[in-house]
Structure 1
């Protein structure tokens, strides 16, 4: 019997909770049993692994016990990154789970689940059904299965490394010095396997390691490279060592951020555009016409422009990996990228992998002589704010205030998205500029002349309204940012 409400830890795309409070061995065991029942996995293989967090081994064992009790045959993968799970689910055509809380602090843990072929488990594909079944098992007990499955062990690290090496050939690039900040996360194990010589022949890469010791208490800094303060050590090391490039991974190593030779962050949009061009060219060489590339709506305008210029087909989608993965499958897209540094590959089972994205950047850099700062500039012609959060209780009213300035005709009819209007009451910087508004995800206002755009998206779980904006020059961006934020925060 348990009084823990699984609704506190089950999210739309994964499970995340505080160890001992909202996620325990008992909740995990019940989830393992429910996973097998809801996805009809009795008699089939289920893969179970975990990251370096202290609670991951206990939770992996509990999940395996619950799943085996309902008839699944368990393969324990031991220590794995999230993209190792996707590789294993794809290559073995088996369902699986990895215990991780990604970039969350040490007191958290959770689960990312996948069906056979690395198809994600989300709110649209069984996540909440698993939650509800597990909640029932917590309250009434897990029933005995007709048969008990087996539990065995295997290791997929060498296979994962070999598969990634088969997708991007780094053997012929010029020598590069690469600083890698693993943040005490799983990249401390996967980097030597893929980019080093643990299993495979050495590459022309000199790896300078930062925080490769696996430690789920994160003693060096939080394993969240989305926050600028967590990149400071890497930026300093790139400059100190005169490195060609720096790579920063999050805790479960499914995201990768890139630092150029000057210690400057390369925007994930620029990485998306660079990788998109390479993947489009590879697909075209195989005879594919106009291969699709997915991008979310708050990546830079340079992303669809690069895709179109390379002969690809840009497909715009909402923010969130479930939307990206769904469109990857629907469009048979060769690649997909998000502003949050998640990168998805058709050849990686439509799943996201930070390591494969890093290898594409290394290949592009090493195949020519220019420094990364010059190479990346080709894919980053605009100026962006990044994501700015405002704490606002009435988010709809804040958006309406902004629209009243930028599109007064639309403000009077909020449902009429997609209609052009003149920004008659805007500041002088925008006077006379036609705008268009769409509501694919939040509210996006786009200047008809292409000089700027901004997006306002409400958080579903917090009292935040998120602003992303981009413009053709810094002064225009500053004016846009300050005006929108002032209106958003007017009554905050």
Structure 2
């Protein structure tokens, strides 16, 4: 079974349990065979045509992956199975082995969802054309082949850990106390290896991978999913907290007071570190990143490139401009030396390195990188996202606007962005202005329109 609604802008994602199932193991088998055709893989005696595959801790992931692998091997193509993995571990595997990658995960979605993230060899992004072609081939009932492909298991967690440590200078840092909330997701699998040789006290929360998510949903964009880590930071007097999403490609940072560090602030902070290594390099941001990032990058001699929201767009922009770093307001952080892919763990290590090489607390360190107030992402469930955006556009008709990524309205020192989710039936609102009061006024003005229209 494969409902067409599972094909999203950047990946596949849909319900796999409950009364409204949208795809299943048989659908996964067809996807595996069709993906081989999309990539033009033919197998071959030299083993050059292979895929590397991993899966997260969701209860349905092993079954779906196994079915997908059956479809791949039926086409005579070999598979390297890295087993349980975070998404950034799969990106690493694709780069390290120079093979196309397939990751079974639904990221931050609830446990009754599952999905697939794809990449080309070297962790390069797939395009919308790849996914459109995949959907067309599956709709045509692409038959599977007669077999012949093999499956080889390979543990790449040690190599992933070594590569991360080669990219960040953690030598000589002061001993830090770090709270890490894995949310019963894949960070619980990678944290022990990554922290094994770091002189830090690690206080783990919900580090047992469990796809039923018994403690809280694996979505750090929602404030209620941050409170346990915030509380633990205060109770333990920790230097910082890390909160990962379900597949651990995103990481939210919490300072020593238990306050969330704005992801745009962290983008500016890491960009500054990377630009000291390579003055004049490009840094990629998206349309809802704080304008403070562009200001700070310019002050430090770097170049800003603005991309649409989404990992496929960010990675493509990084490749085009040979950018050293990229950051999204959703806490995805991309590194050229990590095959331009996003990794929450590397962002966490960069933060620890910066903090550990000085005596000031994190709240003080980030002050110079915070220049505007922000609303954070506010989600509204609406029946007609386009009508809502049109209504807001009409309300702000006398202001500069564009539709490059949803609707962005700009004032002299503020902006508002409304963007439909790529993966869920939601309209996402972000607001930035010089003061909290101005943010609240703009937020309430827009939400009143959205919720009246929706």
The aligned counterpart of 2:145 is 143
Query: How far apart, in 2, do the equivalents of 1:221 and 1:384 lie?
Result: 25
The aligned counterpart of 1:160 is 160
- Whether 1:54 aligns to 2:98 is no
* Range with greater deviation from structure 2 (263-272 or 98-107): 98-107
The aligned counterpart of 1:128 is 132
With structure 1 as the length reference, what TM-score do the two structures score? 0.86
Query: How far apart, in 2, do the equivalents of 1:184 and 1:392 lie?
Result: 30
Are residues 279 and 10 of structure 1, via their aligned partners in 2, closer, same or farther at CA, if it must alter by over 3 Å?
Answer: same
The aligned counterpart of 1:470 is 432
Asked if the contact 2:125/2:316 (under 8 Å) is kept, the reply is no
Asked if the contact 1:6/1:131 (under 8 Å) is kept, the reply is no
Asked if the contact 2:31/2:138 (under 8 Å) is kept, the reply is yes
* Range with greater deviation from structure 2 (89-98 or 53-62): 53-62
The aligned counterpart of 2:14 is 17
Asked if the contact 1:171/1:204 (under 8 Å) is kept, the reply is no
Alignment of 1:26-425 (within 5 A): 26-43=26-43, 44-124=49-129, 126-137=130-141, 141-144=143-146, 148-195=148-195, 197=196, 202-284=197-279, 290-393=280-383, 395=385, 398-408=388-398
**Total equivalences in the alignment:** 446
Which structure 2 segments of 5+ residues have no match? 44-48
SS in structure 2 of the partner of residue 344 of structure 1:
strand
Asked if the contact 1:31/1:134 (under 8 Å) is kept, the reply is yes
1:299 Cα deviation (Å)? 1.0
Are residues 349 and 403 of structure 1, via their aligned partners in 2, closer, same or farther at CA, if it must alter by over 3 Å?
Answer: same
Query: How far apart, in 1, do the equivalents of 2:396 and 2:3 lie?
Result: 43
Asked if the contact 1:14/1:122 (under 8 Å) is kept, the reply is no
Runs of 4+ in 1 over 6 A off after TM superposition: 460-463
Query: How far apart, in 2, do the equivalents of 1:233 and 1:26 lie?
Result: 39
Query: How far apart, in 2, do the equivalents of 1:295 and 1:249 lie?
Result: 20
- Whether 1:454 aligns to 2:413 is no
Q: How far does the alpha carbon of each residue in 1:80-132 deviate from its partner, in whole angstroms, 9 at most, with x for none?
A: 111111101011101121111111111222211111111122423x1221233
Q: How far does the alpha carbon of each residue in 1:43-99 deviate from its partner, in whole angstroms, 9 at most, with x for none?
A: 212112111112222222222221111111111111111111110101110112111
- Whether 1:437 aligns to 2:401 is yes
SS in structure 2 of the partner of residue 266 of structure 1:
coil
Query: How far apart, in 2, do the equivalents of 1:355 and 1:174 lie?
Result: 19
Are residues 223 and 170 of structure 1, via their aligned partners in 2, closer, same or farther at CA, if it must alter by over 3 Å?
Answer: same
Which structure 1 segments of 5+ residues have no match? 285-289, 409-434
Are residues 32 and 491 of structure 1, via their aligned partners in 2, closer, same or farther at CA, if it must alter by over 3 Å?
Answer: closer
With structure 2 as the length reference, what TM-score do the two structures score? 0.93
Q: Which has the larger radius of gyration?
A: 1
1:407 Cα deviation (Å)? 3.9
Instruction: Let me know the Cα RMSD of the aligned residues.
Output: 2.0
Query: How far apart, in 1, do the equivalents of 2:426 and 2:150 lie?
Result: 47
Are residues 59 and 392 of structure 1, via their aligned partners in 2, closer, same or farther at CA, if it must alter by over 3 Å?
Answer: closer
Are residues 218 and 267 of structure 1, via their aligned partners in 2, closer, same or farther at CA, if it must alter by over 3 Å?
Answer: same
Q: How far does the alpha carbon of each residue in 1:289-322 deviate from its partner, in whole angstroms, 9 at most, with x for none?
A: x211010111111111111111100111222222
SS in structure 1 of the partner of residue 169 of structure 2:
coil
Query: How far apart, in 2, do the equivalents of 1:332 and 1:369 lie?
Result: 34
Query: How far apart, in 2, do the equivalents of 1:13 and 1:270 lie?
Result: 25
